[in-house]
Amino acid sequence: MFLAGDIGGTTTTLAVYDPATGPRAPHAQADFRSADYPELPTMMHAFCSGRDLPIERAIFAVAGPVIEGRVEMTNLHWVLAEDDLQEALHLDGVEIMNVLEALACAVPYLEAEEVETLHPGEPAPTGPIGVIAPGTGLGQAFLVWDGERHQPYPSEGGHADFAPRNEWERRLLHYLEGCFDHVSYEHVCSGMGLPNIYDYLKVSDFADDPDWLAAQLAEARDPTPVIVNAALNTTRACPLCTATLNVFVSILGAEADNLALKIFAMGGIYLGGGMPPKMLPALRQKQFLQAFQNKGRLSGFMDRIPVRVILHPAAAFLGMACRGLGL
């Protein structure tokens, strides 16, 4: 059997896959509060206790750069190294990968109903593929054809400098420079970034937040879903939230086309992560594709690139399972 693990600062999910049943139906799965365990092997012992799980290999996905099989967790006091884990867990092999690389592994195996096409384009079957995933942060990865299949590679492109495209975005950047030492795309195009846009619109007197929204935000641990839900609410308008989401979607389109240009993504661009499936109505509007295709002399080229949203709720696990099972 093969184990896949998504290790997060708050929650870690472990799942075991049996080659007989394939990558879409885990044999066993459980969630753990990461901070309750001093190290990953202790958590693994708790997961396997009382279960008959002859695990031979494992892949662990983490947020952040993995260098030579080693990663220091940002929001968790763990240091993970492939050789150490292989020895401690008594496994034949251990791989640590960036979670966006795991997500990219899933792209070639996604079925038609597991994606939504925002723009069909003219895909090249062996062309490079880009993956951009606004979730808690802004993950990016890409896949390149090696003569037999698309091979995934991680990227930290979400931390590249935010590049404003107009006077309004320049003022947004100036506002954020007063809040952060470095303003990246992640600061405006992620779950942590969307409230930054909201805050700027509010302090710039674009609109006031209504009392009902202020009450919801005061009670929320995470303001992002509150803002998104209010923006998509067709029965109770909130101009401030609608404008926030429109700006977010436009910036996402612009950064997605930056990624497409840099890797010549004739195989397509895939939007993953937790946010895109929840904001499909906004992504279907003109702001996203206008921003994606607005590249001057290369606008015609951008029109040829397909754009799809990943709907699979656990695509990173699908990717790790496909890789771990040798598919």
DSSP string, 144-190: EE-SSSEEEEEE-GGGSBP---SHHHHHHHHHHHTT-SS-BGGGTSS
What is the span of the domain harbouring residue 7? 2-104+315-324
Residue 125 CB partners (closer than 8 Å, separation 6+): 267
One pLDDT digit (tens) per residue for the chain, 327 residues: 899 999 988 889 999 999 988 899 899 999 999 999 999 999 999 999 888 889 999 999 998 889 999 999 877 888 999 999 999 999 999 999 999 999 999 999 999 999 999 999 999 999 999 999 999 899 999 999 999 999 999 999 999 999 999 999 999 999 999 999 999 999 999 999 999 999 999 999 888 888 899 999 999 999 999 999 999 998 988 999 999 999 999 999 999 999 999 999 999 999 999 999 999 999 999 999 999 998 888 888 899 999 999 999 999 999 999 999 888
CATH number at residue 172: 3.40.367.20
Burial class (CB in 10 A: 0-12, 13-18, 19+), 184: buried
Same domain, 140 and 62: no
Task: Collapse the DSSP code of 2 into the 3-class scheme (helix H, G, I; strand E, B; otherwise coil) and give the result.
Answer: strand
DSSP 8-class letter at 22: -
Q: Is 128 in the same domain as 47? A: no
User: Looking at the 3D structure of the chain, how many domains does it have?
Assistant: 2
Indicate if 167 and 255 belong to the same structural domain: yes
Judgement on whether residues 94 and 116 belong to the same structural domain of the protein: no
pTM of the model: 0.93
My answer on whether 149 and 239 are in the same domain is yes
Task: List own/partner pairs for 54-57 with CB under 8 A and 24 or more apart.
Answer: 54/1, 55/1, 55/2, 55/3, 55/16, 55/89, 55/91, 56/1, 56/2, 56/91, 56/92, 56/93, 57/2, 57/3, 57/91, 57/92, 57/93, 57/94, 57/95, 57/324
The interaxial angle of helices 239-263 and 223-232, nearest 10 deg, is 100
155 and 125 in a common domain? yes
| CATH number of domain containing 26 | 3.30.420.40
Q: Are residues 92 and 184 in the same domain?
A: no
